[in-house]
Structure 1
Amino acid sequence: MTYAFRAEGLVKRFGATTALAGIDLAARQGTVLGVLGPNGAGKTTAVRILATLLSPDEGTATVGGLDVVRDAGEVRRLIGLTGQYASVDEDLTGTENLVLIGRLLDIRTADARARARELLAHFELAEAAGRTVKTYSGGMRRRLDLAVSLVGRPDVIYLDEPTTGLDPVRREDVWGIVRSLVGDGVTVLLTTQYLEEADALADEISVIDHGRVIAHGTPAELKQRVGGRHLDLRPLDPARLLESAAILAEVAGTQPESPTRGTLTVPVEDDGMLTAAVRRLDGAGIAVAELSLRLPDLDDVFFTLTGHGTAAPATATASVSVTKAPGAAGAAGPAPTEETVR
């Protein structure tokens, strides 16, 4: 199988801290690989290696068949990178930022200006093209940052938590951009802490914790690993939560959990459990604000694999069996460089 990018056995240490402990990542052309993990899991470190900004201590990585260390200059012509925070120059206009990047990529000035106009129109920034970026809103800066990563028409784009700090509407805008890129044949590596983002965009997902890939597969495959359905209940009167929990425990034969205040959830083993729960709740005179039967989502997957949520730093290693991403450990690489571990 041919991969747009591939990392095998990547190890990266910063002093006594091991940011990556031998991860494998790979994506086919024209697909989205979601890399999911909490703060400190190693997502950004992996991106920086694939983007030629860091050298691995061990292992290998290639983009378009080119080694990211040995062929760094050629790799940079194939990739685009958008970090967690907009990195555009606030004292330049939108047009000037894009033209500057074009010139740095050896694009002729006239062609760079044409490309800037094209991208500004695509990202709905044409009216603000002549304004300095310091006058842009946060969403506008993020869109300009994405535009900058596309100036050179890259084959592979790394989006490192691209929707951090955006409101839901702007987040949906970025999702639409990602989908259009993939439709044009671009390969995307997307790191995120938003589980619904990975579910909405990724063809395959690698879950990272403690610098290791602890699970890999399609969203559907990862959900199947958790298995089962859940009955979720929120009584209209919060004072009747304990009474509702007792009813669910009798119906399901297991004690329900309360993942958020005022709600209850219990595994469903029998198709008749929902009907039985409704009858028991109605008989007890308990009105419900919400009652639903749902399949597992990526929140369930992540918690099952790691024992914690994506927002919190990793504190435990998963004890479930996992499927590795494609690839195997590689040879030792160049010496490490300093970087904040993320």
Structure 2
Amino acid sequence: MPELTAPPFDAELNAALELVADIISPTLTPDMIPLMRQMPADPTLDDLVAAVGAVHEERTIAGYDGGEIVLSIYRRPGQATTGPGIYHIHGGGMVIGNRFMGVQAFLPYVQSHGAVVVSVEYRLAPEFPDPVPVEDCYAGLVWTAEHAGELGIDPSRLIVGGASAGGGLSAGVTLLARDRRGPRLRASLLIYPMLDDRNETVSSHQIQGIGVWDRTSNFTGWDALLGERRGSSDVSIYAAPGRAEDLSGLPPTFIDVGSAEVFRDEDVAYASRIWAAGGIAELHVWPGGFHGFDGFAPQAQLSRAMIETRNRWLTRMLEV
């Protein structure tokens, strides 16, 4: 494909990106993974848990193929009535991150809706390649559904969601739940999801050496997950949901993405196939947004609009 010009970044977001240019590289290569895994945890997480009146507990459960995984559970202490359940899957390109990354966005719903938030510590590639990550996530979802009564979750209001790789894994888990007749999900929240290993879209060619998570980074993540299978016919729809042709029978799905990021076109295509299958999808493409801009510049006008729109949708799903 010939060299393509990327859409411009929103001016306010671009200024924020320039401020952190010395810290955040647009490109992740395999040799950078060990260092990225040493990133410090969010020091404000415990304070946020306390501020929303939640307690944090951990459960170790069986993951894929005999392995063990940890779930973090956030809920009101001594919760006597059932509330909605939010099953969270963290991002990190399939290679970095942990269950504490991104869960902050969902903790306020413990206070406002009596929600129970469960966040899964799936095992990462390349040490644990496909199908381990998506199967670990599905095992955690099944456990959550099976223990809904104990946890204080209304099983008719169980939502799965995550950002980036967590969005892709959320889509994969949603497809697994459909095809295995597993937990019945109220909705699926896909925040700029990582869906397609083939890296062949226009947007995947436009974003190289700029923004956050460029074309080379995408190869790094997918190669770690799939190895030599990446881009071949030997990749399942659960690992790369962007390959799924039949998107019928899915719960209501929310997808948001920036116009200036690698995942734009695969995310738009995914929403389009849900509509083509007669399903419900809400899609937002934010003009001038780079990957994860709402996290890097949460006070920017575009970020506030993105977060507000996403939260309005999630609130509707929790209250139905």
Q: TM-score range by the shorter chain?
A: under 0.3
TM-score (norm 2): 0.26
Between structures 1 and 2, the one with greater helix share: 2
Between structures 1 and 2, the one with greater strand share: 1
